[in-house]
Structure 1
Amino acid sequence: MTSEQALAIVRGRYALPTLPDGTPAELRVTEFDIGYLVYAVFPPVTDAAGRPQPAPPGGSKIVVVKDTGETVTVPNLPSEEAIALYRKQRQS
């Protein structure tokens, strides 16, 4: 499986996230030894004065397992933490 195939699986199974103006959000893929982590990228949120604001809570990232194409959602954590959590869940 390739990163492009993992992206196609996610696009085919999940609703695509959108930006506040309704345009599709960019999807990125991070490969690791047993899968691909697929996630949306949103521009930084700023207030009216242009000061950075925290990202809204929630959301998820999706792991596509390399050997099966199975998908698993994980919380919207930094990529390394999301991958570590997936590994921990997989061992359970």
Structure 2
Amino acid sequence: MEFTASARARTGTRDADGMAVASFVLGLVGLLVLNIFLGPVSIVLASLALRRGTERRGRALLGLGLGVADLLVLAVLASADDTVSWTFGG
């Protein structure tokens, strides 16, 4: 079975839309856990989705913002006790 140009375009857009949603979800989860890993992944996925022309541009931009927020939260919490690890409570 051979793909036509329009089938490839739909698949590429669908892939970019999936990356935009994944970026948003990973950025959101990254605010709570594994922000050192999920923040950069969210940023990369959002950038790829925007570059590939996603139809969910707003979600990709939110994923990008949340990825940056993940890294900012990590920086603030790490500077509070001068270590990369942090815990809740005393």
Which protein shows a greater Rg?
2
Q: Which has the higher helix share?
A: 2
Scaled by the length of structure 1, what TM-score is found?
A: 0.25
Q: Which has the higher strand share?
A: 1
